[in-house]
Structure 1
């Protein structure tokens, strides 16, 4: 099985990160029909005719999607983890665009082998600048599908990261990692099972390990050996995947009112006012007013996560919702 050897020092250095390029790859997979995250089907369906038109007029893009955008194995250069200084999608895309041609060719060849594709690569993939052509495809996905919605997506990812970080503090890395993505298991003794496939183990000693949320139903792993490794996992904060907020207990509704009880019940994980409005059906202004009262009563508190302010239940708030 595919196992990463992850010592306690590697986990101690591990961190969560947001990656615009990883999200764009996730959307590309969804457009290609390789796994659609909950809540994304309608949005992707609206863009799929334009995506198909792009593939019809761009031979490289069509061949890349057919032979490299696969559920089992993605090309390594497509999944390189972000650097700490990356501040935009284009920071990551420019680095992908600079990937040397021999490496792209080797990654595409390995991808075909791992996915069980016999025979030579299709001629359409043999272009002078395959990294640039791949960057153009990802740039189209970013511009047409992701960019306008990126602020919302980023807020969801930041909320997920706050929730996961809290889980690390209360349950430890082993418990947190176990629930990140399908197939991921902490085996103990520094062994992290990535999947059940017969791949040789990878020793991550002295490496940086990143955990990246994205709108994907399964996720993937990536690396820039030997210094950086990443696990891209399904974001748990997607509104389309969450469904309605849990109904508060009747006693709590009578105590603090139905609207405030609904807001408090929806804070099972840290959330922004926008998320709370979507989950409870309350107006954004009303959510803000109720949060102010709940904070003054000591039932919720808040913290900043990137550009978002996230609210969470205090110990008193947790005790009230448990009754």
Structure 2
């Protein structure tokens, strides 16, 4: 059990943020076997063959993301790999700029990382950190970018809910249902932890709360210098993230964008290629391609290359339109 003592300044400076870079790290843990309950099985089933077909050497990233096994520090993640964000919603590019500029003194970890990987990072930090950032970008485009709109909606919904709890009843109400591993009493946050024990003080820095789609059922904490004290926790409704929904197209949506494009928007609840969409909708591949081009120009879908194929996914605007009242 870790006890985190809050002062008045800490409560005042407690804030929320999202971190695309942390989702990269947490999702790699899932791919390496940390999803024992199968919550992300549907995502893994789509992403794992896509990564294999890409031919990208992911070892600079995967070596740095251990999964709990037998080693005492196997559950830890190197702090320099995913420092807590300094703004509420940084882009992946902004977070990777921080990684590329990591001071050599911070290239250390208690995590179960191959010694050769850490030795290479220390021997040539600029080159190896740049290579790491490039690999993360490639992984993001293949594994997370096509799904980011769906993930982001879940995370932002949780922040809105937590913010309302904070307004309604202060820190006690905020932490009351954050996670079963977290309890609040008498100005102290109690965090269940597998290995760590003792008290921690925030010393006026506040606590950063980062909802994460890929951490369930765990809560990850960052409580050591020089990083912002942080908790990465599962958002509300994470169990529904990959649930498939019946494809329905309303006359109202079809009247706005046309029935064929409305059908394609509805089908893109998960990333798909032109061939997949043609097979599922009965439209010709050429027709699907033309409609997707128009939807992409309008900012309703995005395209992500995966080997020889291009995957299309709804953007946030597309998600909003597809899920609007009357749109199914």
Q: Is this a same-fold pair by TM over 0.5? A: yes
What residue number does 1:88 align with?
A: 91
**2: distance between equivalents of 1:67 and 1:237?**
24
Cα drift, residue 225 of structure 1: 3.0
Aligned length in residues: 249
Residue 209 of structure 2 aligns to a residue in which SS?
Answer: strand
Uncovered stretches (5+) of structure 1, i.e. residues with no partner: 245-277, 288-305, 310-323
Which moved further from structure 2: 164-173 or 14-23? 164-173
**2: distance between equivalents of 1:37 and 1:154?**
22
For residues 56-135 of structure 1, the aligned pairs below 5 Å read: 57=57, 59-66=59-66, 72-84=75-87, 87-104=90-107, 106-107=108-109, 110-112=110-112, 121-127=114-120, 128-129=124-125, 130-135=128-133
What residue number does 1:144 align with?
A: 142
**2: distance between equivalents of 1:227 and 1:122?**
24
TM-score where L is the length of structure 2: 0.62
**2: distance between equivalents of 1:42 and 1:147?**
16
Residue 102 of structure 1 aligns to a residue in which SS?
Answer: helix
| 2:197 equivalent to 1:194 | no
Residue 64 of structure 1 aligns to a residue in which SS?
Answer: coil
Q: 1:152 to 1:126 in 2, by over 3 A?
A: same
Q: 1:208 to 1:226 in 2, by over 3 A?
A: farther
Do the aligned partners of 1:59 and 1:124 also contact (CA within 8 Å) in 2?
no
Do the aligned partners of 1:4 and 1:204 also contact (CA within 8 Å) in 2?
yes
For residues 13-32 of structure 1, the aligned pairs below 5 Å read: 13-32=13-32
RMSD: 3.9
What residue number does 2:159 align with?
A: 161
Residue 33 of structure 2 aligns to a residue in which SS?
Answer: coil
**1: distance between equivalents of 2:26 and 2:148?**
13
**2: distance between equivalents of 1:165 and 1:50?**
37
Q: 1:6 to 1:132 in 2, by over 3 A?
A: farther
Residue 164 of structure 1 aligns to a residue in which SS?
Answer: helix
What residue number does 2:49 align with?
A: 49
What residue number does 1:35 align with?
A: 35
What residue number does 1:208 align with?
A: 206
Do the aligned partners of 2:12 and 2:206 also contact (CA within 8 Å) in 1?
no
